[in-house]
Every structure is written in C-alpha cells, then in structure tokens.
Amino acid sequence: MIVNFSTRFDRLTMFAEPALALLGMLGHSARVPGAILAVELPSALARLRAALDESGHVPSPAPVAKPDDEEGTAQRDPPINLATRAVPLVAMIERAIAGASDLMWDR
C-alpha cells in the first residue's frame, strides 16, 4: 500500500509503513486520508525534526513481505532509516510553508 502526499506545489508517493511513522512524528494520527492546515505546518515540521533528531536513525518500517518470499530467501537491500525517508517530505513541507499551502494525504 502507498500514501500520496500533496500540496498546491508538490506530490509525493511513499510506502505506507514509513509514511504512517512520519505522520506520527508530525503529531498527527495515522488516519488516511488526512490533512494539516498551512497555519499548523510550522509546528508540525518542528515536531517532525525533533522526532527525527531523536529516532531518525531507526530503520524505516519494512513493507509487508510478499507471499512468494515466505521463507525469506529473497535478497533484500539494507533498510533505509526514517531520517533519509523523511528528506523529500521535509522539503515538501518547507515549500508548503513558504507558499501557505495545506499538506494533504490519501491512499
């Protein structure tokens, strides 16, 4: 499953597991669809940055395993940490703040 983030200026698609973790760090529930109003984005971004400083080194939640990989035999790339996964979302939020746009997400 994926989550689509959007503002008036950008669109970003992310796997649901890291997207929901980042939504929690923004101080929002993991409900999809959802939105954060433009006036609330600066404080949400501050919460996200503080959470990433504290636990951004944690590997991003892994997508659910595919049925054909039940025994874990497929080669997997090393996990990407949440701080790295958050980079495009942080940039998107910064542009939204600069342009007074809301941040919305849906499936």
Model pLDDT for residues 49-66, shown as the tens digit of each residue: 999 999 877 777 666 666
Residue 52 to residue 89: CA distance in whole angstroms: 12
pLDDT for 68 equals 61
| Residue 54 parent element (H or E) | helix 41-55
Q: How confident is the model at residue 30 (pLDDT cuts 50, 70, 90)?
A: confident
Identify the three-state secondary structure at position 7: coil
Examine the pLDDT at 69 and tell me if it is beyond 60: no
Of the pLDDT bands very low, low, confident and very high (cuts 50, 70, 90), residue 2 is: very high
Distance between CA atoms of residues 101 and 84, nearest Å: 24
Q: What is the pLDDT of residue 75?
A: 66
DSSP symbol at 1: -
How does the average pLDDT of the chain come out, rounded? 88
Helix (H) or strand (E) holding 6: strand 2-6
- Are 40 and 66 in contact, with CB atoms under 8 Å apart? no
